[in-house]
Amino acid sequence: MIKIINTLNQNEDVQKEIDSLLNRSQLEFGEVNRLVEEIIKDIRDNKDKAVLEYTKKFDGIELKSMIVTEEEIEEAFSSCDPELIEALREARDNIWDYHSKQLNNSWIQNDKKGVMLGQIYNPVEKVGIYVPGGTAPYPSTVLMNAVPAKVAGVKEIIMVTPPSKDGKINKHILAAAKIAGVDKIFKVGGAQAIAALAFGTESIPKVYKIVGPGNIYVAIAKRIVYGYVDIDMIAGPSEILVIADETANPEYVAADMLSQAEHDTLASSILVTTCENLANKVKVELEKQTEKLSRKDIIEKSLKDFGAIIIAKDLDEAVNLSNEIAPEHLEVMVQNPFEMISQIKNAGAIFLGEYSPEPLGDYFAGPNHTLPTSSTAKFYSPLGVDDFVKKSSLIYYDRKALETNKNKIIKIAESEGLTAHANSIKVRFK
Amino acid sequence: MIKIINTLNQNEDVQKEIDSLLNRSQLEFGEVNRLVEEIIKDIRDNKDKAVLEYTKKFDGIELKSMIVTEEEIEEAFSSCDPELIEALREARDNIWDYHSKQLNNSWIQNDKKGVMLGQIYNPVEKVGIYVPGGTAPYPSTVLMNAVPAKVAGVKEIIMVTPPSKDGKINKHILAAAKIAGVDKIFKVGGAQAIAALAFGTESIPKVYKIVGPGNIYVAIAKRIVYGYVDIDMIAGPSEILVIADETANPEYVAADMLSQAEHDTLASSILVTTCENLANKVKVELEKQTEKLSRKDIIEKSLKDFGAIIIAKDLDEAVNLSNEIAPEHLEVMVQNPFEMISQIKNAGAIFLGEYSPEPLGDYFAGPNHTLPTSSTAKFYSPLGVDDFVKKSSLIYYDRKALETNKNKIIKIAESEGLTAHANSIKVRFK
């Protein structure tokens, strides 16, 4: 099933193998693109009417009203397993705690006489959160998207999620929305939901930023409305990379790789190890554990297509490879995991040691599980409070300070041929 | 020329007037889109060869080599006006100073026994900067884009800018690049430059993020490569909004509005004032000062199409209007400008008092002049160090901490139907 690549073997073209592992881009879908463009145009023109038609067409339900009522939320909440509610509440608290450490203060710089500069933080006022429906509803997604927005001070959090054929929303999703403090929930999914949030309809408020994962229609719609509103990122399939030495437990390594592989046949699970013996043991464990897992078929395909065990010369080579791959999740299972932090340049989330498995981060620890995929950790960050806050610069000069510097400003303005810019300084000192 | 809108006049549809002022979106250009898609595909397939062909076609010059040599840079630098060099150096120092205050430290959270969470900052490794060429080259753009990247610790800053027909680059642009510390400069512009930076060619390195303004081809190309690489924002035409009371000097207000209006016929200059007398005086001043300015034709068209003087009931209404418009540049010329900071929610840069005209910020004070336009200050921030830094989350639990929480994690995983996630916790405590 999974392939083993040995970088010490001269005949292996390691770079080519890695390139093929990473070749899972979701950015090119011409035909879907045209379809989504049409849906968006229709929603802009016909608002609620069009939204309801698409909901009938794609979700198979004719809704009278899209808003989820207080009663529906309470009913869902009270029918959930109380232990699950408790676990979600504690996860919410951990997420709140971690994200509140990301808050920055507005600041001023007052070190020059007559000059005050600064940076003012304000929350984005209205935010939309997309939550996928379907067969596997994820309450954790609701928490991970809504809590940072709450921490940032967003005034209005609008959640959209597709209804099932009976016009209902999964109870865990509604419970998580209540726990997270979502303000309004609408029964709408797909590209029509993204368009409704971006442009507003009679019932769905226009927001300024849209976050949350979704299928290819949702991803493409987010790309199209980007610029009209802000979006979080284009999420691709999930990835894990484990760096392990001879001290790692093969059973744990395999279990963690499988926890990614079960997400999606496009998910990628990679082990980079300095120990050939571990490589072989992990391979055996992967096969053994897969047999007992409910999503066996997905796992086997994902490991075959996008899984790999890479044997590296030493830990330096291992971490270099990892920086090149820039994984969404990076587990470091080596003797001294903390010592490697300074070498890790590109990774969404870093899990240190053998008791920090990736699902701990997916659900519970506090850091966000919305992470940059497909090598985009080279330039993107985990979702966080910064995504829901924006800055304004502040500039104050008094008369003396401006006068002292006026000739330099005029000089640059004139070098750019912008005489009205120069004039705006000159009129003040005629 | 400029229209006066009085919100106290019941017959005025103020909202409609404002909507029409803001209706300058650059996001819909189907035909240009197709052309740019073709160019990008060609560059991906044929790399340098295609880049050189487009440079011949669009810039009218057959280049042998695209890289700007050390000699070219030195020659340009030494032929510049020494006073301009000095002004640019001081601007660079101010920009450096302000942006270095935006740097965040990596941090850890260690308040629970056996648990360590954190957030690690790393600079984006390679960044591309687009600098427009043409008749009005802007050295300030080079500084405002390159200096924050340097402050962030970016290792490689690649600048691209279109050559003129003689194969040269404007000397001020090259001097600014030297002053800012740009690492490599290539003679290439348009969509072909964006594609080359996004995908790499034999001579132009692939980067992870592309910043800088450009024409419609550049803007559309940035939109298309977004996701493969990160981009700064989709820059629209420039805007200024001045909030002024009866204490404001009409001559200054008019001069500052004109400094925006000269940028572009699509630029928007708006005064919101509580004083009808000031409104009338500013109107007179605008006409008087325009007569003497070199870009008179641009200014007149811009003021007519997208300029306005709005009379507001009081300062509260004025600032509410401003928050709704979310201007790129906001000047506050009232008796106590500092007192208004807490009410301002959406603005790119805020200029306080009568000696802080917008060109001070464009060139010299230190805050960035790359600012969110077209109401996007509702969700975007000025360009800054954050744009060149990315974060990784850090998660460490010891055995005891994971064991204490294992049932809650398993509970959530199983509620989502992800048994391999639950298994990854379970195998550790068999």
Q: Determine which one of B99, B172, B329, B369 is catalytic.
A: B329
Q: How far apart are CA B187 and CA B193, in angstroms?
A: 9
Annotated binding site of B for substrate: 238, 260, 263, 329, 362, 416, 421
* Residue closest to B138 by CA, chosen among B315, B359, B321: B359
C-alpha distances in Å from residue A386, one per residue of A118, A157, A209, B128, B234: 17, 16, 12, 23, 19
Q: Determine which one of A172, A239, A262, A329 is catalytic.
A: A329
DSSP class per residue in A152-211 = HT-SEEEEEE---TTS---HHHHHHHHHHT-SEEEE--HHHHHHHHHH--SSSPP-SEEE
Number of cross-chain residue pairs from A and B with Cβ atoms under 8 Å apart: 389
Q: Which residues pair with A272 in a beta bridge?
A: A243, A310
In this complex, the residue of A84, A251, A376 whose CB is nearest that of residue B411 is A84
Q: Is A26 annotated as a binding residue?
A: no
Q: What average pLDDT score do residues B68-78 get? A: 97
Residues of B in Cβ contact (< 8 Å) with A228 = 25, 27
Pairing status of strand B389-397 against strand B115-123: antiparallel
The tokens of B243 are what?
A: 């909030």
Minimal-distance CA residue of chain B relative to A176: B412
User: So what's the pLDDT on residue A181?
Assistant: 97
Residues of A in Cβ contact (< 8 Å) with B295 = 418-420
Tens-digit pLDDT profile for residues B258-278: 999 998 888 999 999 999 999
What residues have CB less than 8 Å from A335, skipping those under 6 apart?
A: A245, A247
User: So what's the pLDDT on residue A24?
Assistant: 64
Domain A3-25+237-366 class in CATH? alpha beta
User: So what's the pLDDT on residue A33?
Assistant: 87
In this complex, the residue of B337, B402, B418 whose CB is nearest that of residue A262 is B418
Q: Determine which one of A328, A331, A354, A358 is catalytic.
A: A328
Please answer whether residues B402 and A124 qualify as being in contact, where contact means their C-beta atoms are separated by less than 8 angstroms: no
Q: Is A329 annotated as a binding residue?
A: yes
Tens-digit pLDDT profile for residues A103-161: 999 999 998 999 999 999 999 999 999 999 877 789 999 999 999 999 999 999 999 99
Residues of B in Cβ contact (< 8 Å) with A330 = 392
User: So what's the pLDDT on residue A28?
Assistant: 56
Q: How far is A374 from chain B (nearest CA, A)?
A: 9
Q: How far apart are CA B99 and CA B366, in angstroms?
A: 7
Residues of A in Cβ contact (< 8 Å) with B420 = 255, 258-259, 261-262, 293, 295, 299
User: So what's the pLDDT on residue A19?
Assistant: 75
Up-side HSE of residue A156: CA atoms within 13 Å toward CB?
A: 12
Pairing status of strand A389-397 against strand A115-123: antiparallel
Domain B3-24+236-366 class in CATH? alpha beta
Longest Cα–Cα distance of chain A, Å, equals 85
Residue A101 predicted with pLDDT over 90? yes
Instruction: Say whether A227 and B234 touch across the interface (CB within 8 A).
Output: yes
The b-or-e profile of A216-252 (16+ CB within 10 A means b, else e) is ebbbbbbbbbbbbbbbbbbbbbbbbbbbbbeebbbbb
Residue B27 predicted with pLDDT over 70? no
User: So what's the pLDDT on residue B169?
Assistant: 96
Minimal-distance CA residue of chain A relative to B331: A395
Q: Is A215 annotated as a binding residue?
A: yes
Tens-digit pLDDT profile for residues B369-381: 999 998 899 999 9
Q: How far is A135 from chain B (nearest CA, A)?
A: 9
Tens-digit pLDDT profile for residues A371-405: 999 889 999 999 999 999 999 999 999 999 999 99
Tens-digit pLDDT profile for residues B283-325: 999 999 999 999 999 999 999 999 999 999 999 999 999 999 9
Task: Note if A328 is an active site residue.
Answer: yes
In this complex, the residue of A365, A371, A425 whose CB is nearest that of residue B117 is A365
Q: What average pLDDT score do residues A283-309 get? A: 94
Residues of B in Cβ contact (< 8 Å) with A401 = 355
Please answer whether residues B154 and B126 qualify as being in contact, where contact means their C-beta atoms are separated by less than 8 angstroms: yes
Interface test with A, best of B40, B355, B383 (most A CBs within 10 A): B355
Please answer whether residues B299 and B305 qualify as being in contact, where contact means their C-beta atoms are separated by less than 8 angstroms: no
Q: Where are the domains of chain A?
A: 3-25+237-366, 30-231, 398-429
In this complex, the residue of A378, A401, A411 whose CB is nearest that of residue B87 is A411
The tokens of A331 are what?
A: 């587990």
**Are B3-24+236-366 and B30-231 equal in CATH topology?**
yes
User: So what's the pLDDT on residue B190?
Assistant: 96
Instruction: Say whether B390 and A413 touch across the interface (CB within 8 A).
Output: no
pLDDT tier, B134 (very low <50, low <70, confident <90, very high otherwise): confident
Q: How far apart are CA B222 and CA B15, in angstroms?
A: 32
User: So what's the pLDDT on residue A5?
Assistant: 85
Interface test with A, best of B144, B197, B379 (most A CBs within 10 A): B379
User: So what's the pLDDT on residue B29?
Assistant: 58
Share of chain A above pLDDT 90, in %: 84
Please answer whether residues A130 and A193 qualify as being in contact, where contact means their C-beta atoms are separated by less than 8 angstroms: yes
The b-or-e profile of B252-287 (16+ CB within 10 A means b, else e) is bbbbbbbbbbbbbbbbbbbbbbbbeebbebbbebbe
Q: How far apart are CA B205 and CA B154, in angstroms?
A: 14
Mean pLDDT, chain B, integer:
94
Helices then strands, each counted (H, E), chain A: 15, 14
* Residue B395 burial by Cβ neighbours in a 10 Å radius (0-12, 13-18, 19+): buried
Q: How far apart are CA B139 and CA B171, in angstroms?
A: 9
Instruction: Say whether A87 and B356 touch across the interface (CB within 8 A).
Output: no
Instruction: Say whether B345 and A412 touch across the interface (CB within 8 A).
Output: no
Looking up tokens 């008087």 gives B288
Q: Does the CA dihedral A198-A200-A203-A205 come out positive or negative? A: positive
User: So what's the pLDDT on residue B28?
Assistant: 56
User: So what's the pLDDT on residue B66?
Assistant: 97
Q: How far apart are CA B253 and CA B271, in angstroms?
A: 8
Kindly report which listed range (A205-209, A292-296, B180-184) carries the lowest average pLDDT score: A292-296
CATH number assigned to the domain with residue range A30-231, chosen from the 4 options 3.30.300.30, 1.20.120.1200, 3.40.50.1980, 1.20.58.1290: 3.40.50.1980
Task: Note if B329 is an active site residue.
Answer: yes
The b-or-e profile of B28-43 (16+ CB within 10 A means b, else e) is eeeebeeebbebbebb
The tokens of B179 are what?
A: 């002053």
Tens-digit pLDDT profile for residues B45-66: 999 999 999 999 999 999 999 9
Residues of B in Cβ contact (< 8 Å) with A352 = 116, 394-396
Provide the terminal-to-terminal Cα distance of chain B, rounded to the nearest Å: 80
C-alpha distances in Å from residue A46, one per residue of A40, A51, B15: 10, 8, 21
Tens-digit pLDDT profile for residues A330-374: 999 999 999 999 999 999 999 999 999 999 999 999 999 999 998
pLDDT tier, A270 (very low <50, low <70, confident <90, very high otherwise): very high
Instruction: Say whether A230 and B83 touch across the interface (CB within 8 A).
Output: no
Instruction: Say whether A364 and B409 touch across the interface (CB within 8 A).
Output: yes
Please answer whether residues A100 and A151 qualify as being in contact, where contact means their C-beta atoms are separated by less than 8 angstroms: yes
Helix axes B399-415, A139-152, angle to 10 degrees: 110
Q: What average pLDDT score do residues A315-319 get? A: 97
Please answer whether residues B209 and B237 qualify as being in contact, where contact means their C-beta atoms are separated by less than 8 angstroms: no
Sheet of strand B156-161: strand arrangement: B184-187, B156-161, B126-130, B209-211, B230-231
Instruction: Say whether B418 and A259 touch across the interface (CB within 8 A).
Output: yes
User: So what's the pLDDT on residue B15?
Assistant: 76
Q: How far apart are CA A237 and CA A265, in angstroms?
A: 9
In this complex, the residue of A120, A256, A349 whose CB is nearest that of residue B395 is A349
pLDDT tier, A199 (very low <50, low <70, confident <90, very high otherwise): very high
Q: How far apart are CA B263 and CA B254, in angstroms?
A: 15
Residues of B in Cβ contact (< 8 Å) with A255 = 420, 423-424, 427-428
